């Protein structure tokens, strides 16, 4: 028997998407679609919904069923079988190049993977699910700073050293270092008019940025990072929640 939550889901299910300019084709007016999600559900969320009112299951029972299913799937895969269910299909594949017909599997050059794709039930669900077109601004990737690492004295989220170096970690941190509006900035906690842009970026990745800290006055600072929106029309800003003491 379906719970009320699941019944409501089947009535209201919808996936949102937006269209973005296809920058891979310079002469094309075409667009690519980008799908957004409502978030992420993990195993605990699934188990809790399984034991929702009316299901007749307890949490230990649901956990036991999932564990048994997982063990059986793993058993058949280790035996060399493909798995085909209405929910998913799994097939072993191998990556890497073999030098010649006499070559054999080498873990340093080759990898065994289990490729998973939709089964008939998920394919049917995809065909039935309603879609809603939304504005592209829901996909703006506002930078998120989760940590600051002082490379000089190896401390995290506490202190920085003037004329030193540091690393921030997080999400959507990448920016153009040639644009003076963008980058990592230290802003004085006591005097917000003191805004100092970091220099000497040695690594700029979406999840990590290495940079040099110039000579700056000692004190307590906010750390912010600024990048551009997808359409380059706005500057997006993220901030470390903690304050950093510059020595």
Q: Please spell the DSSP secondary structure of 8-60, one letter per residue.
A: HHHHH-EEEEEEEE-TT-TT---EEEEEE-S----HHHHHHHHTSTTS---HH
Query: What are 186-226's pLDDT values in tens digits?
Result: 999 888 889 999 988 999 999 999 999 999 999 999 999 99
DSSP type of residue 201 = E
pLDDT of 112 higher than 80: yes
Percent of the chain with pLDDT over 90: 52
Q: Is CATH 2.70.50.70 the classification given to domain 140-246?
A: yes
Instruction: Band the pLDDT of 56: cuts 50, 70, 90.
Output: confident
- Six token digits for residue 79: 């035996």
CA 152 – CA 161 distance, rounded (Å): 7
Domain ranges of the chain: 4-83+117-137, 140-246
Which of the pair, 223 or 10, is modelled with greater confidence?
223
Q: Is the pLDDT of residue 27 over 60?
A: no
Sign of the Cα torsion 172, 247, 158, 163 reads positive
How high is the mean pLDDT of the chain? 86
Residue 219, Ramachandran bin (φ over 0: left; ψ between -120 and 50: alpha; else beta): left
**Contact present, 126 and 107 (Cβ < 8 Å):** no
* Cβ contact 110:95 at 8 Å: yes
Mean pLDDT of 72-92: 96
Q: What is the mean pLDDT of the segment spanning 63-69? A: 95
CB 59 within 8 A of CB 51: yes
Residue 135 neighbours by CB distance under 10 Å: 9
Residue 236 has pLDDT above 60, yes or no: yes
What pLDDT is recorded for position 25?
59
**C-beta separation of 71 from 79 below 8 A:** no
The pLDDT value given to residue 134: 77
């Amino acid at each position: 028997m379906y719970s009320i939550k699941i019944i409501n889901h089947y009535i209201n299910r919808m996936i949102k998407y937006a269209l973005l300019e296809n920058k891979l084709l310079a002469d094309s007016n075409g667009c690519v679609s980008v799908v957004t999600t409502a978030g992420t559900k993990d195993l605990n969320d699934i188990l809790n919904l399984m034991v929702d009112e009316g299901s007749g299951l307890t949490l230990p029972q649901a956990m036991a069923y999932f564990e048994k299913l997982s063990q059986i799937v793993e058993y058949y895969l280790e035996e060399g079988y493909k798995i085909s269910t209405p929910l998913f299909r799994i097939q072993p594949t191998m990556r890497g190049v073999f030098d010649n017909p006499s070559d054999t599997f080498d873990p340093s050059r080759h990898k065994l993977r289990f490729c998973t794709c939709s089964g008939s039930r998920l394919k049917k669900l995809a065909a039935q699910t309603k879609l809603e077109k939304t504005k592209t601004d829901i996909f703006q990737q506002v930078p998120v700073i989760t940590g600051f690492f002082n490379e000089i004295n190896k401390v995290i989220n506490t202190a920085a050293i003037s004329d030193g170096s540091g690393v921030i970690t997080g999400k959507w941190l990448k920016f153009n270092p040639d644009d003076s509006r963008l980058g990592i900035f230290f802003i004085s906690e006591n005097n917000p008019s003191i805004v100092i842009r970091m220099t000497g970026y040695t690594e700029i990745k979406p999840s990590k940025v290495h940079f040099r800290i110039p000579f700056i006055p000692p004190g307590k600072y906010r750390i912010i990072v600024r990048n551009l929106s997808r359409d380059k029309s706005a500057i997006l800003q993220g901030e470390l929640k903690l304050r950093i003491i510059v020595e």
